Chain A
Amino acid sequence: GQSLEQPSEVTAVEGAIVQINCTYQTSGFYGLSWYQQHDGGAPTFLSYNALDGLEETGRFSSFLSRSDSYGYLLLQELQMKDSASYFCAVNRDDKIIFGKGTRLHILP
Chain B
Amino acid sequence: LAKTTQPISMDSYEGQEVNITCSHNNIATNDYITWYQQFPSQGPRFIIQGYKTKVTNEVASLFIPADRKSSTLSLPRVSLSDTAVYYCLVGAYDYKLSFGAGTTVTVRA
Same complex origin of A and B: no
**A interface, CB within 8 angstroms of B:** none
